Structure 1
């Protein structure tokens, strides 16, 4: 039987399960509910979230539980980094991949450009929101996991 998680570890676990699930749900609602189809880099941002969910779920079943939570946090962080890169491409701060940027072929149907934001909320694209939420959540997960270590060593937090 696995020992119970500390309150900070439980919150980290819930974030590691919930954040990628909510972000993926938002992506699919945007896609199928509002017709905002993903470009190639949008898909790249989804893959780490697909990995984070089973990693976080493993923390409910297998030891070392905190390691699975930390790995889920790493996957979420990677998605955020990809989102930050994608947002930079959308703002034309740097060049993106050539497959979905630059001059679109007028005869290529269904190509979604990576260098044009399909939607912005408060001036931030969906890639930018993914970057902010994912990086923030990953840092929060890791800080929550570290909080237990500090208490265990007798260091006041």
Structure 2
């Protein structure tokens, strides 16, 4: 069970990276923040071989649910219910008396996608990648917590 949870946890950020590399999608900062809890969960699930199994699987489930919490924030930003908590998510704005040179200097070295622009992976399906992540995180987090709670 720990190996399965570790593989499923690692699959989410690997899939997201594959959509960048082969699908040409550009992630925003909130997208990137949603990935790291999966890596933590994969590591915790593998630690279940060395440390108390139930505790490590429960912590892995909570780590995955953390990604789900980031996804809820991201969905709210996409729906324009609230602004992004990350300043790097905002599209650059020109100040009233700013020169072109000043605007060019203020741009990030690598263009970032604004967090309030949803990315849809499946044409015709009104579920953004953040929404897909929320569903996946709820499922995998629940599964990991169930695995932690069950008796051998």
TM range (shorter): 0.7 to 0.9
The residue that corresponds to 2:147 in the other structure is: 144
1:85 and 2:69 correspond: no
Structure 1 SS opposite 2:118: coil
For 1:55 and 1:147, the matched residues in 2 are separated by 17
CA, structure 1 residues 104+116, in 2 after alignment: closer, same or farther (shift >3 Å)? Answer: farther
Map Cα deviations across residues 87-129 of structure 1 (whole Å, 9 max, x no partner): 1211112221332135656853512110101224321111111
1:69 and 2:57 correspond: yes
1:41 and 2:30 correspond: yes
For 1:144 and 1:64, the matched residues in 2 are separated by 13
CA, structure 1 residues 77+15, in 2 after alignment: closer, same or farther (shift >3 Å)? Answer: farther
1:53 and 2:42 correspond: yes
The residue that corresponds to 2:100 in the other structure is: none
1:24 and 2:35 correspond: no
For 2:93 and 2:17, the matched residues in 1 are separated by 25
Q: Which runs of 5+ in 1 are unaligned?
A: 1-9, 153-157
For 2:133 and 2:141, the matched residues in 1 are separated by 12
Q: Which runs of 5+ in 2 are unaligned?
A: 95-102
Map Cα deviations across residues 27-67 of structure 1 (whole Å, 9 max, x no partner): 0111111111211111110111121111111112x121121
1:129 and 2:139 correspond: no
For 2:10 and 2:112, the matched residues in 1 are separated by 26
The aligned runs of 1:4-15 (5 Å cut-off) are 10=1, 13-15=2-4
Q: TM-score if structure 2 supplies the norm length?
A: 0.79
**How many residue pairs were aligned?**
137
Map Cα deviations across residues 8-37 of structure 1 (whole Å, 9 max, x no partner): xx3xx2452122211112101111111112
Q: TM-score if structure 1 supplies the norm length?
A: 0.77
**Displacement over 6 Å in runs of 4+:** none
